[in-house]
Amino acid sequence: MKFSRISWILGCILMSATFLHAQTSQGGPHIGYVYPAGGKQDSSFDVTIGGQFLGGLTNIFVSGGGVQSSIVEVIRPISGKELNDLRIKADELLARRSVVKNDFKALENFRSFKNASKDDKKNDGMEDKEIQDLKKKYENSKWTAEDDKMLMDVRKKISGGIRRPENPSISEIASLRFKISPDAKPGDREIRLVTAQGLTNPMLFKIGVIPEYTEPAKKTIQQQRVIKGGEGGGFGSVKEKKDTKVTLPAVINGQILEGTIDRYCFEAKKGTKLVIISSARELIPYIADAVPGWFQATLALYDSSGNEVAYNDDFQSNPDPVLYYEIPSDGEYVLAIKDSIYRGREDFVYRITLGELPFITSIFPLGGPKDSSTKIELKGWNLPSSSMTFDVKDKAPGIYPVSLQKDEWISNVMPFAVDDVPDCLEKEPDSQHRTAQMITMPVVVNGSIDHPDDRDFFKFEGKAGDEIVAEVYARRLNSPLDAMVKLSDAGGREIGCNDDFEDKGSGLETHHADSYLRVTLPSNGTYFVEVVDVQHNGGPEYAYRLRVSMPRPDFALRVTPSSVNLRAGGTVAVTIYALRYDGFTNAINVALKDAPEGFKLGGTIIPGTQEQVRVTLTAPPLAQTQPVALKVEGTATIKGNVVTRQAVPSEDMMQAFFYRHLVPSEEMRVGVGGRAKSKQKKKQVPAVKVISALPVRIPAGGTAVIKLNIPGDLAAKKIDLELDDPPAGVRLVKFSSMPSGAEILLASDQKQVKEGQEGNLIIAAYLRSDKTEKDKQSGKSRVKLTTLPAIPFEVIAKQK
């Protein structure tokens, strides 16, 4: 079915409206972009951060050290009330000036007077009655140079203000000043802001060693509107900006606005092996209200005659384009960057690194066994060597970065997998059943789909009833392979097949192109595992790691959000995701690791039936002057052994209005607000304690009672309790307060709950107040006091 352009635009508008309403209702400080998204060692420069709820900005946190920062100003859109107040102020100033200078013509062009009714004027030509009243009001007034300046400032604010910004999530701007020390370690950092409403989400910031060029940021709403309407020309029109001169090597920082193409010119000499690396999607992995969900950059290179000599819109499976071009002759060349469909706005931020720089395009093998050294073959551009030895002794299984250095330049990073399973290399020929390579489980085979339509076969001996796992690691290790794995018996009968398998731990992947298969063998005999690329592509870079083994139950954890805000002594809900591998179904106990005194987790068991659970984090009773770093870990029993895994802090990010991804962060930070320590003890929120036996057992289709101990000063007040995002079918029927404490009556819907269902109940406490007339007008009727510590529950069979 074909959709018209108008239908597509209307659909996007409707989705945008729905998203923006939901986003605005969530509240909480938020960073949408950082510009520039990096800087050079030993440099000072301005940084612009676009976001929402940035008022009361007090501090900036940059991980890793070596960066000094200061706050210049915070700019935000003018609200409707503020705009109206400014107009009234301008009215008053203009009226006073007109009376003092006896010049009333200016009033005809101003809002309050230009629509004066003709009935107010007398037929004999006498003055407008309203003007007569103004003369009386300001007859003894004066007009000074300061008044002129004030009127000019008010008019400027009115002309630059908008009541409804197009993108509320980036409508406020924090203007900062950064200074990077000469010895700051190059690499990725995270930026967070501390505002009146707490700590923001983290945002990527890079520190490099190459000279940088940065376009001026569009700091004000008025600047953004002028650029969008003037240079971009609006939807459907394209405007190429004037070429900016740079000198190689260079890092270029820019922002793409709607309909614009940014162009940069440079001199290059014959024989230069030019590498151009873009970072756009890397900087902001997902944009909630944009399709496909990120800034899809394209790069084009032109010679001095204007001929396009190189173009790229993605590199292998990476949405960010990379160009390689060997310069054929001395001269001037032009690099152009744009969005693939000419979208653009302030959070379409990019960094382009260009020069004769080392770049790794692929490695082989993609991993190796632990406690060993692995020789890695390297392919790429401007590399000092075609191989390297990677020492993984004393390293636990996991993914580790591999890179090279040439002179003072460091290459891009490639992931290298370390496993505790024996591995081997694929041996050709193995493209048919009769030439299949014999393997012995457990094993990891390092192979590649060497050419288009290549097929790799492996065979092993199996027994009836054995459970077998065949898993391909490729896309998760930066290989472009779109794998499919198939298991068949000696007669060619298919036992199992898988194309794409979603790994929620790979939050940056939108196409989960790796394959996973877990089957039970039906009989004794020889079995064949086949690996192919489903898109019929191939080449040396199409490498993979194929694991064939019995199931190896395990788990990993993610905790969201990675920035948490709560008041001293308060409690807030966070979510922990359990990524269960190879059929792992045991319960996981989560806890804080080496946390400062006073921090506590509630509801710390992830039932074996659950892949995620909401727990509660309670802060100590005193405010913290700095955001606190916390670590969460989980412990479980696997085949009789106690195993501990650390939770990876993550952000639950939305892509293109709908999809959600767990994007890893460097660390988890908690902001604990409140009054000064000397005053705070009198203002602590009294603790509400659950005195019922836990877990609370709720009969399917029945009711259950939770008894609470409520402190006297809180019990005397009118409070409401409310389930926060309750499980389907569970509801709070009644909350009863009494001198001895309080009770909560819960009920479950037998059609929606399931016997054996487990989890946590999160309950929020609100303070009711008698509605005043002002409350009724504002809609305010209650204030949130706190969140109760998580209450574990279990659904049981209803007694007859």
pLDDT tens track for 241-295: 678 999 999 999 999 999 999 999 999 999 999 999 999 999 999 999 888 899 9
Average pLDDT score over residue span 528-538: 97
Topology classification of domain 686-796 = Immunoglobulin-like (2.60.40)
- Structure confidence at residue 27 (pLDDT): 61
* Domain ranges across the chain: 80-160, 359-419, 432-474+481-534, 555-679, 686-796
pLDDT tens-digit map of 584-600: 999 999 999 999 999 99
State yes or no: pLDDT of 116 exceeds 50: no
Tokens of 646: 């650390």
DSSP of 531-545, one letter per residue?
Answer: EEETT----TT-EEE
Radius of gyration of the chain from Cα atoms?
32
Instruction: Tell me what percent of the residues of the chain surpass a pLDDT of 90.
Output: 69
Percent of the chain scored above 70 by pLDDT? 85
498: Cβ–Cβ under 8 A, 6 or more apart, which residues? 484, 485, 515, 516, 517
Q: Is the confidence at residue 680, as pLDDT, over 60?
A: no
Indicate the pLDDT class of residue 232, thresholds 50, 70 and 90: very low
Distance CA 549, CA 191 (A): 42
pLDDT for 118 equals: 45
Say whether pLDDT at 6 is over 80. no
Q: Domain 432-474+481-534 belongs to what topology? A: Jelly Rolls (2.60.120)
Q: For residue 140, what pLDDT band results from cuts at 50, 70 and 90? A: confident
Give me 622's structure tokens.
Answer: 């005193």
Is residue 372's pLDDT more than 60?
yes
pLDDT tens-digit series, residues 703-739: 999 998 876 555 556 778 899 999 999 999 998 877 6
Average pLDDT, the chain: 87
Give 149: exposed, middle or buried? Use CB within 10 Å, 0-12, 13-18, 19+: exposed
Q: Is the dihedral of CA 530, 400, 632, 666 positive or negative?
A: negative
Please give the average per-residue pLDDT across 63-67, as a whole number. 95
Whether the per-residue pLDDT at 162 is higher than 80: the answer is: no
**Closest by CA position to 670, among listed 565, 789, 787, 560:** 565
Q: What is the pLDDT of residues 598-637, one digit of tens each?
A: 999 999 999 998 999 999 999 999 998 889 999 999 999 9
| Topology agreement, domain 555-679 and domain 686-796 | yes
pLDDT in tens, 550-583: 999 999 999 999 999 999 999 999 999 999 999 9
pLDDT of residue 5: 39
Please say whether the beta carbons of 483 and 452 come within 8 A: no
Mean pLDDT along residues 183-195 = 96
Mind listing the pLDDT tens digit for each residue in 16-51? 444 443 343 346 899 999 999 999 999 999 999 999
Q: Return the pLDDT at 161.
A: 61
Residues 6+ apart with CB under 8 A from 81: none
Q: Enumerate residues 6+ apart whose C-beta is below 8 A from 608.
A: 585, 586, 587
Confidence of residue 7 (pLDDT cuts 50, 70, 90): very low
Question: Does 2.60.40.10 match the CATH number of domain 555-679?
Answer: yes
- Name the one residue in this structure whose structure tokens are 């298919």: 494
The per-residue pLDDT for 98 is: 84
Query: In terms of pTM, does the model score above 0.75?
Result: yes
pLDDT for 682 beyond 60 = no
